[in-house]
Structure 1
Amino acid sequence: MKNKIILIILFIFPIVTYLIFASAKHNSLFLPVLSENNAEIPSEWTTLSKEKIQLKDKITILGFTGSDMKEFKANMFNLNQKIYQKYFGFEDFQMVMIAPSGTENEIEKMIVELNRITENMKGWKFVFTTSDEIERYYDSFHFKTDLDATKGTSQVFILDKNKNLRGRKGKNKKGEEEYRESYNASSAADLHNEMTDDVKIILREYRLALKKNKRKDEFRDHIVDGVEKSSQDKK
């Protein structure tokens, strides 16, 4: 009888715990939608590889480089080390950086430099257009922060496969009101402590969708294990 009670507890407790987490406005198992169906990358914008870049059906880290390449180089390195290298194995994951026309050569040099310490750079996508077009596109998201004078920002954003902006909204586990729509690429700590967890949550979401459809994805299985372990460690 005692063994049966223990087995019931072990079976029920994870389900109850998950339901509690899933019902919260923000927690370590769910990342709220902040805005829906945002604008797609215009097809006429150019890329280094001449490929067409789109947000739809991709999990995207969206950034705006600006024309100050020295500052962006430091941000790109942080993003590469703290975010990209952890998740580039996920087939539908991409880093899309929107840059002013005329910065192509400098960015190409950065890619060559990072390629020396990065296994695969194929998930880095750079899109080029005029400063006016960049500003119009950025404004379409209605972010709470503005672009700087170079048409760039150190802030980067998480978009899901439906072009929804994802972030934090509502009360956190401490009961404090929280709103986060972006992550500071100039801060390695912000990327490591905040953004890494939130990207994991998005990947976990799609892994569970695949699992529901009985499809296997070893990379996403590894990500979800990490999220669930992290949740347990924080209790």
Structure 2
Amino acid sequence: MKKTAVLITLFILPIVAYLFFASGVNNFGRLPVLTDTIDVKSLSANDIALENKITILGFLGSDIASRRGNMFNLNQKIYKRFHEFQDFQFVMVVSEGLQDQVDDLKKEIGHLGGTEKWNFAFMTENMITELFNSLKTDITLNENQSTPFVFIVDKEAKLRGRNKDEEDGVVFGFDTSSVAELNNKMVDDVKIILAEYRLALKKNNADR
């Protein structure tokens, strides 16, 4: 009996655990779509595309200086962890005429790592508002067209998030001023959407 128990512990239980978690990823590892269509035409004027990219979308507006801490949090907790994925990018929306401030921000972020997947889109106030409103969230921009929240947008330019979060119900975006929220929620959700596309790619390759 002792030998049987040892064998079950060493061999059977790990297999059962693996099958359980693998099943969970396949059946439940999809990040819900919260908004089907985002108006991305204003981004095309900046030669930035959301299609075929997994995008972290943020709105700095004219608050670049006051959002530096938020961007450093985002860089350390999200960008550094996931930037090596080929189809992953950051897009930060900025008010027109602030290129010099963006250059300074990129230099500061660059001291902490690469910035090759940080993209900045310069827009008028109306363009920023139009893009943001198309996300259809419960979050608002401040008077400077800025918010500390960032959003996960998939390869079909659809907003992803949580629709049954235990604490907040629907989660449209993630507060970059909260390291805890980035660590405890956003990291997990980025992992899920990356895994979702990897699984889809493997399935397509297998079908061929």
Normalising to structure 2: TM-score of the pair?
0.85
How high is the sequence identity, in percent, across the aligned residues?
38
Which of 175, 180, 198 in structure 1 is aligned with 2:189? 198
Which of 88, 95, 98 in structure 2 is aligned with 1:93? 88
Q: Secondary structure at the match of 1:212?
A: helix
**CA distance change for structure 1 residues 208 and 108 in 2, over 3 Å: closer, same or farther?**
same
Which one-letter code corresponds to 2:89 in the other structure?
Answer: Q
Q: Secondary structure at the match of 2:42?
A: coil
**Where does residue 110 of structure 1 map in the other structure?**
105
Matched, 1:154 2:145: no
Q: Deviations over 1:98-144 (max 9, x none)?
A: 110021110111101211220x2111000001011111121122111
Q: Secondary structure at the match of 1:91?
A: coil
Contact 2:42 2:131 (8 Å CA) reproduced: no
Matched, 1:37 2:37: yes
**CA distance change for structure 1 residues 8 and 187 in 2, over 3 Å: closer, same or farther?**
closer
Contact 2:165 2:171 (8 Å CA) reproduced: no
Which one-letter code corresponds to 1:164 in the other structure?
Answer: K
Matched, 1:62 2:57: yes
Task: Report the Cα offset of residue 64 of structure 1.
Answer: 0.4
Distance 1:44 1:214 in 2: 31
**CA distance change for structure 1 residues 43 and 61 in 2, over 3 Å: closer, same or farther?**
closer
Task: Report the Cα offset of residue 198 of structure 1.
Answer: 0.7
**Which consecutive residues of structure 1, in runs of 5 or more, have no partner in the other structure?**
47-51, 216-235
Distance 1:143 1:205 in 2: 23
Distance 1:83 1:16 in 2: 28
Contact 1:59 1:160 (8 Å CA) reproduced: yes
Task: Report the Cα offset of residue 211 of structure 1.
Answer: 2.2
**Which consecutive residues of structure 2, in runs of 5 or more, have no partner in the other structure?**
none
Which one-letter code corresponds to 2:130 in the other structure?
Answer: R
Distance 1:91 1:21 in 2: 21
Task: Report the Cα offset of residue 34 of structure 1.
Answer: 1.0
Contact 2:95 2:125 (8 Å CA) reproduced: yes
Distance 2:110 2:133 in 1: 32
CA RMSD of aligned residues (A): 2.5
Contact 2:53 2:154 (8 Å CA) reproduced: yes
